[in-house]
Structure 1
Amino acid sequence: MASSSSALPSSESVLATPQSPPSRPLSRGVRVGLVLFAIGLVFIVINVIPFFFGTTDRPLWLNLACLAAPAGLVTAVVSAWRSGRAAARQAAHELAE
Protein backbone atom coordinates (compact mmCIF):
# COMPACT_ATOMS: atom_id res chain seq x y z
CA MET A 1 0.00 0.00 0.00
CA ALA A 2 1.57 3.25 -1.14
CA SER A 3 1.06 6.38 0.88
CA SER A 4 0.22 9.66 -0.70
CA SER A 5 2.78 11.67 1.27
CA SER A 6 6.14 12.27 -0.36
CA ALA A 7 9.42 11.03 1.07
CA LEU A 8 10.82 14.54 1.21
CA PRO A 9 10.20 16.55 4.40
CA SER A 10 7.96 19.56 4.14
CA SER A 11 9.51 23.01 4.33
CA GLU A 12 7.91 23.54 7.74
CA SER A 13 9.72 20.62 9.33
CA VAL A 14 13.19 21.60 8.14
CA LEU A 15 15.03 23.77 10.63
CA ALA A 16 16.94 26.71 9.28
CA THR A 17 20.65 26.41 9.85
CA PRO A 18 22.34 29.58 11.05
CA GLN A 19 24.77 31.15 8.64
CA SER A 20 28.32 31.40 9.92
CA PRO A 21 29.93 34.81 9.67
CA PRO A 22 32.31 35.23 6.75
CA SER A 23 35.81 34.18 7.73
CA ARG A 24 38.64 36.63 7.36
CA PRO A 25 42.10 35.51 6.33
CA LEU A 26 44.72 35.42 9.09
CA SER A 27 46.70 38.60 9.46
CA ARG A 28 50.39 38.58 8.72
CA GLY A 29 51.25 38.92 12.42
CA VAL A 30 49.20 35.85 13.33
CA ARG A 31 50.85 33.81 10.56
CA VAL A 32 54.32 34.93 11.67
CA GLY A 33 53.45 34.10 15.28
CA LEU A 34 52.19 30.64 14.38
CA VAL A 35 55.32 29.90 12.34
CA LEU A 36 57.55 31.07 15.21
CA PHE A 37 55.55 28.95 17.64
CA ALA A 38 55.89 25.85 15.45
CA ILE A 39 59.63 26.41 15.03
CA GLY A 40 59.97 26.85 18.78
CA LEU A 41 58.11 23.61 19.42
CA VAL A 42 60.45 21.76 17.07
CA PHE A 43 63.47 23.16 18.93
CA ILE A 44 61.90 22.21 22.28
CA VAL A 45 61.49 18.61 21.10
CA ILE A 46 65.07 18.60 19.79
CA ASN A 47 66.25 19.99 23.12
CA VAL A 48 64.29 17.63 25.40
CA ILE A 49 64.74 14.26 23.66
CA PRO A 50 68.50 13.94 24.46
CA PHE A 51 67.72 14.21 28.19
CA PHE A 52 66.02 10.81 27.98
CA PHE A 53 69.32 9.35 26.80
CA GLY A 54 71.43 10.89 29.57
CA THR A 55 72.84 13.88 27.70
CA THR A 56 72.51 17.01 29.83
CA ASP A 57 74.92 19.48 28.24
CA ARG A 58 72.99 21.25 25.48
CA PRO A 59 74.43 24.18 23.51
CA LEU A 60 73.30 27.68 24.42
CA TRP A 61 71.98 28.43 20.92
CA LEU A 62 69.61 25.46 21.17
CA ASN A 63 68.26 26.63 24.51
CA LEU A 64 67.79 30.14 23.15
CA ALA A 65 66.06 28.83 20.01
CA CYS A 66 63.44 27.25 22.28
CA LEU A 67 62.33 30.79 23.17
CA ALA A 68 60.78 31.05 19.71
CA ALA A 69 57.71 29.17 21.00
CA PRO A 70 56.64 31.69 23.67
CA ALA A 71 57.66 34.59 21.43
CA GLY A 72 55.50 33.19 18.63
CA LEU A 73 52.59 32.61 20.98
CA VAL A 74 52.73 36.20 22.25
CA THR A 75 53.07 37.52 18.70
CA ALA A 76 50.06 35.53 17.45
CA VAL A 77 47.83 36.43 20.40
CA VAL A 78 48.67 40.14 20.30
CA SER A 79 48.21 40.28 16.54
CA ALA A 80 44.86 38.45 16.72
CA TRP A 81 43.73 40.79 19.49
CA ARG A 82 44.75 43.87 17.49
CA SER A 83 43.04 42.66 14.30
CA GLY A 84 39.91 41.80 16.28
CA ARG A 85 39.84 45.26 17.82
CA ALA A 86 40.33 46.83 14.39
CA ALA A 87 37.44 44.78 12.96
CA ALA A 88 35.21 45.76 15.89
CA ARG A 89 36.17 49.41 15.46
CA GLN A 90 35.38 49.22 11.74
CA ALA A 91 32.03 47.54 12.40
CA ALA A 92 31.12 50.20 14.99
CA HIS A 93 32.11 52.91 12.52
CA GLU A 94 29.92 51.35 9.80
CA LEU A 95 26.97 51.14 12.19
CA ALA A 96 27.39 54.79 13.17
CA GLU A 97 27.13 55.95 9.57
Structure 2
Amino acid sequence: MATHEAKPKIMACDFEVRGKVPKEAFELFAVAQAKVLGLRGYITRVSEDLYKGQLQGEGKVIEAFKKVIASAAEYVAAVKEFIIKNMKAIEEYTYKAFEVRA
Protein backbone atom coordinates (compact mmCIF):
# COMPACT_ATOMS: atom_id res chain seq x y z
CA MET A 1 0.00 0.00 0.00
CA ALA A 2 2.91 2.38 0.60
CA THR A 3 3.90 4.21 -2.53
CA HIS A 4 7.50 5.28 -2.79
CA GLU A 5 7.27 8.53 -4.65
CA ALA A 6 10.59 10.25 -5.15
CA LYS A 7 9.36 13.22 -3.18
CA PRO A 8 12.24 15.54 -2.27
CA LYS A 9 12.98 15.63 1.44
CA ILE A 10 12.09 18.76 3.32
CA MET A 11 15.19 20.15 4.96
CA ALA A 12 15.36 22.65 7.79
CA CYS A 13 18.33 24.74 8.84
CA ASP A 14 19.35 27.82 10.75
CA PHE A 15 21.24 30.50 8.88
CA GLU A 16 23.24 33.64 9.56
CA VAL A 17 24.11 36.48 7.22
CA ARG A 18 26.92 38.76 8.34
CA GLY A 19 27.69 42.10 6.80
CA LYS A 20 26.59 45.70 6.68
CA VAL A 21 23.52 45.33 4.47
CA PRO A 22 20.78 47.97 4.14
CA LYS A 23 18.05 46.69 6.46
CA GLU A 24 14.71 47.24 4.68
CA ALA A 25 16.02 46.59 1.18
CA PHE A 26 17.83 43.43 2.23
CA GLU A 27 14.84 42.05 4.15
CA LEU A 28 12.52 42.64 1.18
CA PHE A 29 15.06 41.03 -1.15
CA ALA A 30 15.45 37.95 1.11
CA VAL A 31 11.68 37.50 1.40
CA ALA A 32 11.18 37.90 -2.36
CA GLN A 33 13.90 35.35 -3.16
CA ALA A 34 12.59 32.85 -0.59
CA LYS A 35 9.08 33.14 -2.05
CA VAL A 36 10.33 32.66 -5.61
CA LEU A 37 12.22 29.55 -4.52
CA GLY A 38 9.35 28.22 -2.42
CA LEU A 39 11.21 28.37 0.88
CA ARG A 40 9.57 28.87 4.25
CA GLY A 41 10.90 30.23 7.52
CA TYR A 42 11.99 33.65 8.69
CA ILE A 43 14.78 36.21 8.88
CA THR A 44 15.39 38.58 11.77
CA ARG A 45 17.96 41.32 12.36
CA VAL A 46 20.00 40.57 15.46
CA SER A 47 22.43 43.48 15.22
CA GLU A 48 23.65 46.05 12.74
CA ASP A 49 25.75 43.49 10.91
CA LEU A 50 24.03 40.18 11.68
CA TYR A 51 20.83 38.52 10.52
CA LYS A 52 19.64 35.13 11.71
CA GLY A 53 16.79 32.98 10.60
CA GLN A 54 15.51 29.60 9.66
CA LEU A 55 14.85 28.03 6.28
CA GLN A 56 12.68 25.09 5.34
CA GLY A 57 12.60 23.57 1.87
CA GLU A 58 14.46 21.19 -0.44
CA GLY A 59 18.20 21.02 0.21
CA LYS A 60 19.12 22.16 -3.30
CA VAL A 61 16.69 25.09 -2.97
CA ILE A 62 18.28 26.17 0.33
CA GLU A 63 21.65 26.05 -1.45
CA ALA A 64 20.20 28.16 -4.30
CA PHE A 65 18.94 30.75 -1.78
CA LYS A 66 22.42 30.94 -0.24
CA LYS A 67 23.96 31.50 -3.69
CA VAL A 68 21.41 34.17 -4.65
CA ILE A 69 21.94 36.12 -1.40
CA ALA A 70 25.73 35.80 -1.51
CA SER A 71 25.99 36.81 -5.17
CA ALA A 72 23.32 39.52 -5.42
CA ALA A 73 25.01 42.42 -7.17
CA GLU A 74 23.62 45.08 -4.86
CA TYR A 75 24.70 43.22 -1.70
CA VAL A 76 27.77 41.30 -2.81
CA ALA A 77 30.13 43.87 -1.26
CA ALA A 78 28.07 44.08 1.94
CA VAL A 79 27.49 40.38 2.64
CA LYS A 80 30.60 39.06 4.37
CA GLU A 81 29.35 35.59 5.19
CA PHE A 82 26.32 33.33 4.76
CA ILE A 83 26.41 30.41 7.18
CA ILE A 84 24.06 27.44 7.18
CA LYS A 85 23.90 25.44 10.43
CA ASN A 86 21.99 22.47 11.85
CA MET A 87 20.72 21.14 8.51
CA LYS A 88 18.31 18.27 9.10
CA ALA A 89 15.44 16.50 7.37
CA ILE A 90 11.95 17.19 8.71
CA GLU A 91 8.64 15.44 8.10
CA GLU A 92 6.59 18.51 7.35
CA TYR A 93 6.79 22.28 7.21
CA THR A 94 6.30 24.20 10.44
CA TYR A 95 6.12 27.60 8.70
CA LYS A 96 3.43 28.67 6.24
CA ALA A 97 5.61 31.18 4.40
CA PHE A 98 8.86 33.14 4.67
CA GLU A 99 8.68 36.33 6.71
CA VAL A 100 10.64 39.05 8.43
CA ARG A 101 10.47 38.93 12.21
CA ALA A 102 11.10 41.99 14.33
Normalising by structure 2, what TM-score? Answer: 0.26
Higher helix share: 1
Higher relative contact order (CA 8 A, sep 6+): 2
Higher strand share: 2
Q: Which has the larger radius of gyration?
A: 1
Normalising by structure 1, what TM-score? Answer: 0.27
